[in-house]
Amino acid sequence: MKQLIIYYSWSGNTAALAHRLQQLMSADVFEIKVPAGTFSTDMYATSDIAKQQLTTGQLPALNEPLPNFGEYDEILVGGPVWSGSPATPVLALLELLKHGNVSAQLAPFYTHAGSAVGYEADFEKAAGSLTVLPGLSIAGSGTNDDTEIQKWVNRLK
């Protein structure tokens, strides 16, 4: 089974988790990037920008090129939790995936600063008819929690 780990990281926590997953799985890894200036370096300003994007339906552009998603059987999609939901760059990626010729299963992994209630339901809704496997939720400073990470990786195999 060919796997891709694709992620967006605002603070670095999700990037650390993605690279830990890559070490455990030997999967391809790709970082989602947005154009410079899309978000602030301030957490609260970034939250306001993301809320505006959701209100207007104007999700951020993703820098190209993106991977050829058709090459993969399973795509692990990572990102931070913003206001209980997937970060808007992750939602933009899900829009691309659900409207493309993607047959891969999706598995969300996400980092948060306290609460991630509703994240997976919002992820599944955004993924449309794509198959979504149970996700991995890690508190921001817990990206070295190998016990939980390894359990999740084992479930994916």
Pair of tokens at residue 2: 């060919």
Count of domains in the chain? Answer: 1
Mind listing the pLDDT tens digit for each residue in 72-115? 999 999 999 998 899 999 999 999 999 988 999 999 999 988 77
For every residue of 61-123, which 3-state class applies, written as one string?
CCCCCCCCHHHCCEEEEEEEEECCEECHHHHHHHHHHHHCCCCCEEEEEEEECCCCCCHHHHH
User: Of 52-66, 86-100, 107-121, 133-147, which range is least confident?
Assistant: 133-147
70: domain CATH number is 3.40.50.360
Amino acid at 88: T
User: What is the span of the domain harbouring residue 30?
Assistant: 3-156
Give pTM, 2 decimals: 0.94
Asked if residue 118 has pLDDT above 90, the reply is no
Give the pLDDT mean for 36-40.
95
Q: Which residue has the tokens 């400073």?
A: 141
